[in-house]
Each structure stands twice: as C-alpha cells, then as structure tokens.
Amino acid sequence: MSMEVTAWNAMYNAMYAQQDRRPFSRETVKRIWDFAKPHRRELWIFLFFGIALAVLAVLTPLLAGRVVNAIVDGASVSTVAWLAIIIAAIAIVEAAFGIIHRWLSARIGEALILDLRTAVFDHVQRMPIAFFTRTRTGALVSRLNNDVIGAQRAFSDTLAGVVSNVVTLALTLAVMITLSWQITLLTLLLLPVFILPARRVGSRLARLEREAANHNSAMSTQMTERFSAPGATLVKLFGRPQRESAEFAIRASRVRDIGVRSAMVQWVFVTALTLVSALALALVYGVGGFYALRGQLDPGTVVALALLLTRLYSPLTALASARVDVMSALVSFERVFEVLDLEPLIKEKPGAMKVPAGPAAIEFKNVSFAYPAADKISLASLEEVAQLDSRAGKDVLHDISFHVEPGHMVALVGSSGAGKSTIAQLVPRLYDVDSGSVLLGGVDVRDLATTSIRETVGMVTQDGHLFHESVRDNLLLANPDATEDQLWDVLRRARLDTLIGNLPDGLETVIGERGYRLSGGERQRLTIARLLLAQPRIVILDEATAHLDSTSEAAVQEALSEALEGRTALVIAHRLSTIRAADQILVVEDGRIIERGTHSDLLARGGRYGELYRTQFADQPAGNGAGKAATSAARV
C-alpha cells in the first residue's frame, strides 16, 4: 500500500471515528454472534485468507532485499532469477488470495444485509397499525438501509481489518526489529506526526460531513414533499414556485460550499501526510545507507526496511481508530436490534384456528378499547422526539355489543370521532380489544390464524390505497393466482372494464403513486374490484363513498352492490341515503351505541339518527338527487 493511500485511510478512519460512541453491552455482542452463526464457516475461511495476505505482504520486501544483496554480492544469475520467480509467484498467490478474500467479504456482507433487512422487514410487517401512524417513514427506511449497511461493515470491513492489521503489524515490527531495531525505533517516533493530525482533521471533516448531511436531508425532505402530487398541487395553487426554488438553491449552495471546504482540507491533509511519509522513507534510506556504508547493514536490508515501512503505518493508523470503528458498527447493530426488540401487540396463538367454513357472522361482546400508549408500540428515535409518551390512551369504545347475521348488513353512523372506524378495525384484528371479545363465525379473533382472518374479511376504506404499480399488480395483491378472465370479470363488475380497456397499456398501465393518475371514483372502484377478486365472506366498508361527486358515487354504489351481494357486511357511512336498506343501523356516539334499529324505525323514533338525517338533508332542494333520496327514504 502506498503512503498516499495510507494517508487517505488515516483521514477516513479518523473522520468516521468521530461518530456516535455509545457504550454497548455484552448482550449486543452475543446477539451479533447469533446473527453471524449461519455464516461462521465462511467467516473462518475469510479470516484465514486475511491472515495469509498479511504474511505474504511481509515476505515480498524480505525477498526484494535478498535480490539486492545477491546483485551486490555478485551471485549467479540463476539465484537472482529464482528469487524473482518466487516474488512473482507470491504476487500471483497474493492476487488470487485477494480476489477470494474480497469475494468472501462481499458474500458475507451481502448475506448479512439480506438476513438483517429480511428480519427487520418481516418484523415491521407484524407491527400494529398504531406503530405506522406514529413512525416517520424516512426514519424507519433508514434502519433498513444505513444502519443495516453499517452493521454489515462490522464483519466485512472492521473484523477482517482488525485481524489482518494486527497480524501485519506484529510480523512487520518483528521483522524490522530483527533487521535493525535502531531504524525501527526512529520510524515509530514519527507515528504521532502521522496519527494526531489525522484525528484533528478527521474531527473537522466529520463536522463538515454532518453539516452537509443535515442540508442534504433538508433538501431531500423538500423534494419528497414538493414532488408528490398533492405537494406539487399545493405549491402551484398558492403560486410559490419562486420562493421554493430560492429556498432549495440556498440549501444546495451551502452543500456546494461545504464540499469545496472539505475537498481542500482533505487535499492539504493528504499532501502533508504524504510528505511526512516521504521524509520517513528518506530517514530510512539516510540512516540505513549510513549503516550500510559502515558495513553494519546489508544494502538489501535497507531496501527491505524501506519497503516494510510502507506496510507499517497503514495498520498502525487503522488500529489506532479500530475501537471507534468497532463502536460505530456496534451502534448500527444496536439501532437495528432496537427495532427488532419492539414486541408486536398482535400475536398469533400457537395452533390458531381457521374461521369456520360457510357464511360467517360478526359479533361484538361487551367490547371496550383504548389505543395503546406510545411507549408500547414505537421508538423515540423513529418519531424523532426526546421521549415517548407513556400515558395510556383514553377508552374510545365502551361496552360495545352487536351481532351481524351471515349475509346481513349492519351500518354504523354517528359523528366524526365517535368510534365507528375503530369498531371496523377490530374486526380484521388490526388491534386487540382491552376487554370483551370480537368473534368471526363464532370464534374469538384472538384464537384465529391471521391468514384465515385476511381470507375471510375484506375492507374498503375512505382513502383506498393503491401502489405505484400497474393495474394488474394492484389487483393481484388480493389474489396472486387470479387468471386474466377473473381480472377482467372483477373490472367489469366494478364498472372499470371500459376505462382500463381503453388505456394504452391496459392492465399493465402504471397508475402512479397512490393511484393519482385515476380520478377519486376510479380509484375507489379499483379498490372494490380488488375486494371482489379476494372473494371475502365478510365485507367492511369504511366511508367508501365519502368525498365523491354524485356521478362517481352512483358508479361506486353499483360496484358496491356487487361486492355486498350474499356477504356479511359492516358499513360505515356519513351519507345516510346509502344505508337505508341496512338490516340494522347502529348509532355510535362517544364510543357507545346509543340507538339501534332499521332506517324507518329510527326515523320514527326521532332520536339522534333522525337528527342526523334531518341535518343532512334539510338544506337540499326537493328537485336534486339528495332531496329525492330523502323523500324516498321517508316513505320506507
């Protein structure tokens, strides 16, 4: 390794040595080893090749010294030739070993990344919905990217570097002391000149890197928010593109200035250390030449010492910051383990049952529920707060009991925030109740297998989410084995077959982030088509027609009639005209069921339902659709 490369490594190690240095526990090390166990055979082979490379690195300078001595002593051509052949063979073996070592490093590192990412991804998918409502998506993604890669470096870089550097340093020092302890001592005296500036400059560069990272993060946040469809719309509506551009340019210019300063600091530092290295070599040649002229050293020994010197500073500077390198890697592991240690609140029991075959009923028995406290479901670092709130939430549901017969429809109505959506989320077990029970087909959902619940219950929400993928991929989420005919059948039943058929790429058309290339009504109908493809026995509709115009609502209602046919249904609706045909209507206020009955019964009773109905249609002129709906409903 050249002195210039050694200088760059010294600066790099010193710079990243300034990062987080939290203490770690033995338990963390044990868990790391448990993660590494599947790869321990490859790890031992990896370490073997690292040690072998260190040994070969010391042999070449010694052989080079012998070549010089052979020439000076007038040895035979064959002797010099054999030494040259041995040096060439060592170079070939070293190159081969280097390739194998690098392959093993990449294999182990990438395998560890795969294991960690898969473990974190699978674990996060088991977390309750409340976890995602509190966590910043960017912070969570960072755990899967930056921290996982930082943890991987513990094996592919840090571990191998420590072992090979210790072996290289021990062998190099032993050989140099054997050749000349005086020159070896002089070269070691220059070591502080090499390391101390590296730490000082590294600290300064670390500060610049953090400042640049903060500005880059701010730019990324601005771009992420402004480049989304809603964000871009908001900027255009308020006519602020010039101000947005100016703010972005300020941040970008600061990153530019920091980049220039960092480049100059790095270059001056490397130039200075390269100069120090050259002076060290000059010292070896000068003192060594003096001893050689006095007959106290062979010329070849001087050459060997000079070559060994180039292999001495690199491991010394690397080992000087090895502890902080290890600490940085362990911090990354701890941040990954921090996510893995979050216990999912929803756990499947061993030997969980399937939902009984046939039409399925829904039953709530004396259900009370409060959303869990933040410290039970989240991390302060993922929410970017100093400390999580440990206070438990207030009860949002109080002693809820009702029954939905197989094939019947029950509607939930009431004020916003009354608890209707919470009731709906308890059916597919997105949360667990605090007391009472929720039953599907007569079995408590806590005793059912998660896959069976998902196969039984289908849900369409007010903001039916769609992925930035093709129409086909969004549909196949419900049934990956669906045929082409089945896809077009559900699109026809959702009144979307003509629209999708007229698109240039048909089913392969990418619909954009959250489906923004489709209108609101089209997005809802596509989520209904996805529901139809899943063929659930129980359907939950949570404000499925909210915020739609009359034309879109009519189209969605037609699609919903297909989705509800012959199925057990729980429907939440603000538009009361959409649930007149419900077998039972439950009026929910402040987490309690205060009225129940059919549409006509509740209207005749003149209670809260009648108040909601009159309020909703009081201002509608008799000639429009809503007024007609109210008139029609009043006759029921």
Domains and CATH numbers, the chain: 3-340 (1.20.1560.10), 362-597 (3.40.50.300)
What pLDDT shows up at residue 594?
A: 94
Backbone φ and ψ of 432, nearest 5°: -105, 145
Q: Does residue 252 register a pLDDT over 50?
A: yes
Q: Does residue 264 register a pLDDT over 70?
A: yes
User: Which three-class secondary structure string do you get for 503-526?
Assistant: CCCHHHCECCHHHCCCCHHHHHHH
Give the confidence band of 140 by pLDDT, cuts at 50, 70, 90. confident
Overall average pLDDT of the 244-263 stretch: 81
Alpha-carbon gap, residue 205 to 12, rounded angstroms: 9
Give the confidence band of 624 by pLDDT, cuts at 50, 70, 90. very low
Q: Judging by DSSP bridges, how do beta strands 443-444 and 435-440 pair with one another?
A: antiparallel
Alpha helices by DSSP H, 412-549: 420-426, 450-456, 471-476, 484-493, 497-502, 520-534
Give the confidence band of 388 by pLDDT, cuts at 50, 70, 90. low
Question: Token pair for residue 49?
Answer: 């090749």
Q: Which residues in 355-483 belong to E strands, given as ranges?
A: 362-370, 395-404, 409-413, 435-440, 443-444, 457-460
Alpha helices by DSSP H, 297-399: 299-310, 313-320, 322-340, 374-377, 380-383
Q: Does residue 629 register a pLDDT over 50?
A: no
Rounded to 5°, the CA angle 257-262-265 comes to 130
Task: Compute the Cα dihedral for 127, 593, 571, 545 and give only its sign.
Answer: negative
Q: Does residue 226 register a pLDDT over 50?
A: yes
* More confident site: 572 or 543: 572
First-to-last alpha carbon distance for the chain, in angstroms, is 90
What pLDDT shows up at residue 592?
A: 93
Overall average pLDDT of the 240-262 stretch: 80
Alpha-carbon gap, residue 108 to 400, rounded angstroms: 54
Alpha helices by DSSP H, 126-240: 129-134, 137-142, 148-153, 160-179, 181-189, 191-227, 229-237
Alpha-carbon gap, residue 141 to 332, rounded angstroms: 14
What pLDDT shows up at residue 550?
A: 67
For tokens 């790095």, what's the residue?
A: 266
Distance of CA 39 to the CA centre of its chain: 23
Closest by CA to 341, choosing from 382, 386, 308, is 382
For tokens 């093709």, what's the residue?
A: 470
What pLDDT shows up at residue 28?
A: 73
* More confident site: 131 or 604: 604
Helix H or strand E segment including 61? helix 40-72
Lowest pLDDT segment from 10-19, 268-277, 344-353, 439-448: 10-19
Q: Which amino acid is at 610?
A: G
Alpha helices by DSSP H, 420-470: 420-426, 450-456
Overall average pLDDT of the 560-575 stretch: 80
What pLDDT shows up at residue 200?
A: 65
Distance of CA 562 to the CA centre of its chain: 38
What pLDDT shows up at residue 585?
A: 93
What pLDDT shows up at residue 20?
A: 46
Helix H or strand E segment including 587? strand 584-589
What rounded mean pLDDT belongs to the chain? Answer: 78
Alpha-carbon gap, residue 274 to 375, rounded angstroms: 52
Q: Does residue 608 register a pLDDT over 80?
A: yes
Alpha-carbon gap, residue 407 to 565, rounded angstroms: 8
Q: Does residue 174 register a pLDDT over 70?
A: yes
Q: Does residue 635 register a pLDDT over 60?
A: no
Helix H or strand E segment including 67? helix 40-72
Alpha-carbon gap, residue 596 to 71, rounded angstroms: 107
Q: Which amino acid is at 237?
A: L
Question: Token pair for residue 443?
Answer: 């079995």
Phi-psi region of 582 (alpha: psi -120 to 50; beta: other; left: phi over 0): beta
Q: Does residue 514 register a pLDDT over 70?
A: no
Give the confidence band of 247 by pLDDT, cuts at 50, 70, 90. confident
Give the confidence band of 354 by pLDDT, cuts at 50, 70, 90. very high
What pLDDT shows up at residue 121?
A: 85
Q: Does residue 102 register a pLDDT over 80?
A: yes
What pLDDT shows up at residue 135?
A: 74
Q: Does residue 506 register a pLDDT over 80?
A: yes
Question: Token pair for residue 89?
Answer: 């063979």
What pLDDT shows up at residue 615?
A: 81
Task: List pLDDT tens digits, range 587-606.
Answer: 999 999 999 999 999 988 88
Report CA-CA distances (Å) from 34 to 21, 30, 162. Answer: 23, 6, 20
What pLDDT shows up at residue 324?
A: 56
Alpha carbons within 13 angstroms on the beta-carbon side of residue 448 total 25
Q: Does residue 310 register a pLDDT over 70?
A: yes
365: helix, coil or strand? Answer: strand
What pLDDT shows up at residue 138?
A: 66
Alpha-carbon gap, residue 292 to 488, rounded angstroms: 90
With pLDDT > 70 as the criterion, what percentage of the chain qualifies? 75
Q: Does residue 438 register a pLDDT over 90?
A: yes
What pLDDT shows up at residue 74?
A: 80
Give the confidence band of 229 by pLDDT, cuts at 50, 70, 90. low
How far is it between the farthest Cα atoms of the chain? 122
Q: Does residue 327 register a pLDDT over 50?
A: yes
For tokens 């007229």, what's the residue?
A: 502
Q: Does residue 351 register a pLDDT over 70?
A: yes
Greatest mean pLDDT among 167-171, 183-187, 566-570: 566-570
Report CA-CA distances (Å) from 431 to 49, 360, 371, 423. Answer: 52, 20, 8, 10
Alpha carbons within 13 angstroms on the beta-carbon side of residue 248 total 15
